[in-house]
Structure 1
Amino acid sequence: MDSNPGCSGFSQCWKIRSQCNQSSSDQSFASGLDPASYTFTAQGEMKCCIKSYQYDLLKSLYVMKHNQMLTDVRLDVVNETFHAHKIVLAAASPYFKAMFTSGLREKDASVVKLQGVCPTVMNKLLTFIYTGEIVINQLVVCQLLPTANMLQVSPVIQACCTFLENQLDPSNALGIAAFAEQHHCSNLYKAANEFIDQHFIQVCQEEEFLQLSSCQLVALIRRDHLNVREERDVYNAVLKWVRSNEEHRRPKMEDILGAVRCHYLSPSFLKDQMKNCDILRKVPACREHLAKIFQELSLHKSPCVPQRTPSAPCVLYIVAGFSRRSLNLFEAFSVSENKWLTLPPLPKSLSGLGGAFLRGMLYAVGGRENIPDALGHSGYVNAYDPVTSTWHSRADLLQTRHRAGLAVLDGYLYAVGGASGKTDLDTVERYNPERDQWELVAAMNTARVGVSAAVVNRLLYAIGGFHGVDRFKSVECFHPEKNEWLFVSAMNQERSGAGVVAVGQYIYVAGGMGLSGQLSSFERYDTEKDIWTQLSPMLTARSALTLAVLDKQIYAMGGFNGTSVVDTVEIYNLETDQWRVGPPLSCPRSGHATAAPFKTCNFTSATQSRSCPMMKAARNSPLALM
């Protein structure tokens, strides 16, 4: 007979339960009576996890601190006293851990005096140490972050940085960047400077900008990634800074002007400044500097300083075109998302139009209405603002133009050749965006329809095209100082309706209509050596296509293959001389316009703009005074 029947019964029960568990997978369930969860394993063990245990423990310690139970240190901050537990402080703060565990005199002290700390901030930090919760606002963050930094309470440092990053606004970004640098908050410093780069035009309108030292200003305007529409924005910001304290700052103008990339100012603007700017008249060295640059620009050589490359999203815009009828479809291709996005349609359905970016606006110029109810050439000009995502009407062309070339030179928009009704045009007109006015310049030597246009080093090139039955491989070059067109080396073969894009000193020409049909050939013109070079052909022969460059790659989009309009997109690698197939257009189209901002404006919808009412209100906050 078993001497201990109670134990025997328990062992038998345990054995059966263990065998049962081993015959099935691990089981777990949560008790309905408490927040604990229980997990049974195949080895007959049970794991108990009480998720609220840490919170309850902290809560108990907080109550004990509040009631001064087992507290072993008193923190004296100015005229206030805080009781705490050394072990809790040491666990939360490497600063206190070093104080209480090393050979410092405070190791065994029951009273510790903290210098340079605000009592309100200390109370918030202690509350966080004991509860894991803290409330941060604009009134306290500027004192809380330095104190958390000193005491090495990392979660609070990160929380303060997150709060400040969320508060970034043109009125306080410079101050937050300086604050972050002072307290070695590298992520916040990076975020603030990226914001400054992206919103430079707005930042330089604020009081903080005018309070920069000359060294700080030079460091700012030297940045490659300032998001400006044109270098004139940087130049005007410098003048504004000088004028805010002219007597003191004018002597520093020469050094500051050297940081402006004046080679990207137009000659007409330089000439106007040298003649009319009152500050330049008082600083002869600055006038001489601009005069030297003016002379260098007239030589049409590559600038000795690089153009700014803002860190804006890579976006490619495609406007209107033809697919059985003229279209008003307007889309953008986001490289980061690798997809096409639909934007507000062009006010008119057009094909054979031109497109180009000028001062942050996308211009859609000319074209032809080819729809069931209408057929006619257009002189319409519309400008799209990517920030507000809206179209705006501009002054019409002096004459209607279809299949004209369009390019930007010296801050003007040039419309080259094309057709007006049954007339092939040799005329060229340019648009002044400040006056909203078109004017004629010298005509080409040859009328050209389906002509392509590109600008390199302040020279405008008109490439190929046709007139009557003649198709051209000739190329003309427009010199703005002389107001005349001169022939340069011809292409390797005749073509009209080709895709053209300029990259550095080169002009790339793809496809088009040749003497016997659509072309796939691809060639490059070296503007400095006046030489054309054949490159790898496209995968698909087509005309009425467009080219654009994004992220060191050339995109060839749409067109007509001789039988049908296509949605084909091919991408050319400039380094490998290889083509690959890209994501197709949303629909087949030819005779469309394509343009890519030179990373000078953000692809941001109006609802995503940081100029929302909440951000405007932040300008009146204490952070705006940092």
Structure 2
Amino acid sequence: MDDLLDKQEKREYCDYEDCAWVENLGVSFQAMRQALELTDMKLRAGDTEFPCHRVVLAASSPFFRALLTGPMKEESRTTFDLQDTCSSTLSLLLDFMYTGKLRITEENVQDVLVSANYLLLGRLVDACSDFLRRQLDFQNCFEMYSFADAHGCEELLRATQRYILRNLPEASSSPAFLEAGFEQLRSLLGEDNLNVSSEMDLFRSIMDWVSHDVQDRSCHLLELLRLVRLPYLPTDNLNLISNDKLIAANPGCKTVLHNAHLCKEDLIPYPIEWRSPRSSTNQVEVLVVLGGVHSSQLGNSSSSLQHYWCDPRSQLLSWSKHSAMPHMLRNTVMYDVTKFRNDIYVIGGFDGEQGTLGHVWRYQIDNDQRETWGRVPALITSRYQHGSGVAGGHLFVAGGYDGREALNNVECFSPGWERWQPCPPMPEAVTFPAVVGYHKRLFVIGGMKSDSCAFPWIQCFDMATQSWSIIKTLELKSKGSKSVLLNDAIYIIGGPSNQVHVYDPENDVSFDVAPTLDIHVCAGVTVNNGKIYVAGGDNLKDRQNWNSVECYDPASNTWSIIGKMVIPLYWHGLVSIVRPNMPPMKAYLDSTNVYEVGPSMMFRGFQEGPPDHDPR
């Protein structure tokens, strides 16, 4: 071995590193501290003083470095008091700053973390947080949450929050839950990913917490009740909640419950805190695409009876199939699709054999996942190219074409009546309007007065006065657009432009937001979980790529393409409904539910590129 070493070639230089140098340096400094050699500063905790070296403190702790070397440095100061640190904790921290080693135990971890956080010993704080995270259980999670929040331990706070949200049923049954603070509950119980099997279970947990100290906690009942997503409970459960003594004695709580009933009946828009169910309750708000015209290649068009759904938050590319639409709709196009009280309505349309239709079909799904299609009373006036929307707890159908002329008549429907009733006519007859409701007002937006003349304004029906007015705050010049209500604002999307207009009905102002990435004529538009989704539609470029799905996030004012429909469609329906959660099944194109339609179904008109034959 020595011979081999002697025969190695000559080197110009050698980079040498003593891997034990840093550790030995720390050990040497520790020995010098213990022997009181060259110490130049003292730390004091209570009555105990600890001699130490300024240079080691400054090198180990950003707090001490700023104190001893910064603009406000205290060169003459030889003693520093750590008033909120006990002597045993300070001894451990000094050992750590000199050697990088410390044994964390259940007995010392919280004191060490607090002092380490004060001295900006970040890696030690992380180690203590990780240790505490591993000790989480049903009995200490709420106390741990308060501790992490009070001391700004972000990682521990997030870990504790995840633990509580995931294990609330067990955690809420422990005595520690009853001792939790109001601010803790308020920050946790409104989360989307809170794990509760039923909103009723959450309500019972809240009532247990309030009842534990009624005198001091009843003032928080209203705010906590708002965190229960009441509209997704059966009416029987809402009635049980109304009969609770504490609820009945609180006028604010009674108002919240009344609003929950109104939301279920589509009398008022859902507030932000109730806009979607929690997935843990076995309910999910899904996108549903149904019907429409399918064009697989230029000059070859088919009507579709297929019916797909997906959860856009987790599986947009995994579309599942609902039951097919009624066979009688196989040759029907230009109907309108809307959601009313969580049921889907397919209204009117044009049939290649029967002409203009007044048929109305309703799709329902119950908690046992039974899907049914059924007929409801037909429209008073058969029509197609119309619009429909929900306002004040009623379903409205406005405008359209009856095969001879554009219509200005309006009809409304309520399940309690089980019949359509006429409403006062609109000032202007229009086809292809965008229709949306806001409280007890119906907005019929734009549309076409004739093939070459667009109606540029908004016609507004006030249910209270049973009268119409024309709003000229926003000017429109296209057909084929759709409208939705989001955060008390009306968004008008689609048509031969990618512009997105917004109208604020409360303040009577309009403005534009970010444009869509593509053009969508006669597309499907809906709101799901606080975002807008646009699916398919004629892009005025080809008939191959009508299956893109765009999503608008109002928080960032941005659009993104997030996936594709199973088949390219236009004149289809896109709605959001709440349905029981179930495993997705791969959807595919079923040729038995696609029917050939004539070229007359492919109609482009005013400002929409080369028109084909108009079926009228």
| TM-score (normalizing by structure 1) | 0.57
Pair 1:236 & 2:200 matched: yes
What is the correspondence of 1:297-316 to structure 2 with a 5 Å cutoff?
Answer: 297=261, 306-308=271-273
Residue in structure 2 matched with residue 68 of structure 1 by the alignment:
32
Letter in 2 for 1:535: K
In structure 1, distance between residues paired with 2:181 and 2:254: 23
Quote the offset at 1:521 in angstroms. 1.5
Supply the AA of the counterpart residue of 2:341. D
Evaluate the alpha carbon distance shift between residue 176 and residue 294 of structure 1 in structure 2; reply closer, same or farther with a 3 A threshold. closer
Aligned mate of 1:455, from 390, 396, 402: 390
Q: CA deviation at 1:238?
A: 1.3
Residue aligning to 2:454: 519
Of residues 365, 368, 393 in structure 2, which corresponds to 1:432? Answer: 365
Q: Secondary structure at the match of 1:467?
A: coil
Identify the match of residue 181 of structure 1 among 139, 149, 158: 149
2:308 is paired with a residue of what secondary structure?
strand
**Alpha-carbon spacing, 1:127–1:468, altered in 2? closer, same or farther (3 Å):** farther
Question: Which string of whole-angstrom CA distances, capped at 9 and with x for unpartnered residues, describes residues 240-292 of structure 1?
Answer: 63799999899999985873349974598223654xx7x988x5666899998
User: d(CA) in 2 for partners of 1:66 and 1:570?
Assistant: 68
Residue 270 of structure 1: which of 211, 235, 243 is its match?
235
Q: Determine the C-alpha separation between the residues in 2 that align with 1:453 and 1:136.
A: 65
* Cα displacement (A) at 1:529: 4.5
Counterpart residue number, 2:120: 153
CA offset digits 1:526-576 (Å, max 9, x no partner): 44454433223445x2222223455776543332xxxxxx34323335357
- How far does residue 215 in structure 1 lie from its aligned partner after superposition? 7.8
Distance in structure 2 (CA, Å) of the matches to 1:256 and 1:402: 51
Counterpart of 1:596 in 2: which secondary structure? strand
Cα gap change, 1:558 to 1:306, in 2 (>3 Å): closer
Cα distance in 2 between the residues matched to 1:440 and 1:139: 70
Distance 1:583 1:248, change over 3 A: closer
Which amino acid counterpart does residue 360 of structure 1 have in structure 2? E
User: Which of residues 295, 308, 323 in structure 2 aligns to 1:395?
Assistant: 323
> Would the alpha carbon gap of residues 594 and 178 (structure 1) be closer, same or farther in structure 2, given more than 3 Å must change?
same
- Relative to 1, partners in 2 of residues 1:173 and 1:68: Cα closer, same or farther, differing over 3 Å? same
CA positional deviation for 1:416: 3.2
* Structure-1 residue corresponding to 2:340: 409
Deviations 1:410-439 (A, max 9, x none): 333333333455441331414225334234
Structure 1 residue matching 2:385: 3-state secondary structure? coil
Unmatched segments (≥5 aa) in structure 2: 1-11, 278-282, 533-550, 554-559, 564-616
**Which among 503, 525, 532 is matched to residue 469 of structure 2?**
532
What is the rounded CA distance, in whole Å, between the counterparts of 2:384 and 2:423 in structure 1?
A: 19
Instruction: Report the identity percentage.
Output: 16
1:577 paired residue number = 509
2:181 & 2:201 partners in 1: Cα distance? 10
CA contact (8 A) 1:570 1:582 kept: yes
> Is residue 363 of structure 1 aligned with residue 288 of structure 2?
yes
Match 1:545 to one of 468, 481, 493: 481
C-alpha separation in 1, matches of 2:167 and 2:526: 28
Deviation digits for residues 339-396 of structure 1 (CA, Å, limit 9, x no counterpart): xxxxxxxxxxxxxxxxxxx942111122222444964433322112123222111123
Deviates more, 1:240-249 or 1:438-447: 240-249
CA drift at 1:213: 3.5
Give 5+ residue unaligned stretches, structure 1.
1-31, 36-55, 313-357, 560-565, 607-626
* Per-residue deviation, 1:593: 0.4
Deviations, residues 473-495 of structure 1 (Å, cap 9, x unaligned) = 22323233333433334333222
Distance, in Å, in 1 between the alignment partners of 2:171 and 2:228 is 28
- Match status 1:260 vs 2:225: yes
What is the Cα-based RMSD across aligned positions, in Å? 6.0
When structure 1 is superposed on structure 2, of 455-464 and 399-408 the one drifting more is 399-408
1:474 paired residue among 406, 409, 415: 409
1:115-171 Cα shifts (integer Å, max 9, x gaps): 46397666445556xxxx99999999766532313x43264588579979999x999
CA distance in 2, matches of 1:306, 1:495: 32
Match of 1:488 in 2: 423
Q: How many residues align?
A: 483
Judged with a 3 Å threshold, the aligned counterparts in structure 2 of structure 1 residues 288 and 146 are, in CA distance, closer, same or farther, namely closer
Does the CA contact (< 8 Å) of 1:227 and 1:310 recur in 2?
A: no
The equivalent residue for 1:500 is 435
2:57 matched residue in structure 1? 89
**C-alpha contact (below 8 Å) 1:417/1:448 kept by paired residues:** yes
Within 2, Cα distance between the matches of 1:218 and 1:90?
41
Displacement of 1:95: 8.1
Alignment of 1:211-222 (within 5 A): 211=174, 213=177, 216=180
